[in-house]
C-alpha cells in the first residue's frame, strides 16, 4: 500500500491534480490492502492523472513544436530504470484511460482512497475487483 500512496503523491504533485487513477494488478490494493503477498508483489504500478488531457494541452501551448503525452512524462520520470525506480524499488507505468478495457460503468463502482499530498486531499481511484473480473470473463468469452 505504501507504493500505491507514493504513486498517488508523485503524480498529484507533477500534474497538480486532485485525482489519480490506478489500474492494473495493483489497483486491487485500494479495496484489499492486506491482499496475499502474491497479489501485492509487483514491480510496477499503472497510473494516470485525471487532468492528463488538460496538462497535454497546456504543455503544447508552452511549446507548439512539442507533442507532450502525460503517460510519457510519467514513464520518463518514474518509469522502469528511472532514478525513482532505483530509489523506491518499483516504477510507475504511465498509462491513460484507454489502457485497460474495463466495463463502461466501472467508475460508478470504483474504489477510492483519500491520500494527503502536501496539505491537500487527493483521491486515488481504482476499478473495483468485480469490474476487473467482469471484463476479464467477458474477454475470455470472445476467444
Contact 37, 26 (CB under 8 A): no
> For 66-106, what is each residue's pLDDT tens digit?
889 999 999 999 999 999 999 999 999 999 888 877 878 88
List the grid coordinates of 101.
478495457
Q: What residues does each domain of the chain span?
A: 2-141
Q: Bridge partners of 93?
A: 46
Digit-coded pLDDT (tens) for 24-78: 878 888 877 777 777 767 789 999 999 999 999 999 999 988 889 999 999 999 9
Q: Span 112-139, mean pLDDT?
A: 81
Give pLDDT, residue 6: 94
User: Quick one: which H or E segment has residue 75?
Assistant: helix 70-78
Amino acid at each position: 500500500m505504501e507504493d500505491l500512496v507514493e504513486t498517488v503523491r508523485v503524480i498529484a504533485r507533477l500534474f497538480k491534480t486532485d485525482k489519480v487513477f490506478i489500474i492494473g494488478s495493483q489497483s486491487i490494493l485500494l479495496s484489499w490492502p492486506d491482499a496475499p503477498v502474491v497479489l501485492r508483489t509487483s514491480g510496477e504500478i499503472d497510473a494516470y492523472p485525471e487532468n492528463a488531457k488538460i496538462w497535454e494541452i497546456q504543455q503544447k501551448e508552452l511549446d507548439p513544436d512539442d507533442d507532450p503525452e502525460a503517460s510519457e512524462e510519467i514513464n520518463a520520470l518514474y518509469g522502469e530504470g528511472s532514478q525513482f525506480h532505483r530509489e523506491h524499488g518499483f516504477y510507475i507505468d504511465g498509462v491513460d484511460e484507454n489502457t485497460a478495457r474495463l466495463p463502461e460503468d466501472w467508475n460508478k463502482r470504483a474504489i477510492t482512497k483519500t491520500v494527503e499530498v502536501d496539505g491537500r486531499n487527493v483521491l486515488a481511484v481504482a476499478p473495483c475487483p468485480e469490474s476487473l473480473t467482469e471484463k476479464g470473463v467477458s474477454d475470455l468469452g470472445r476467444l
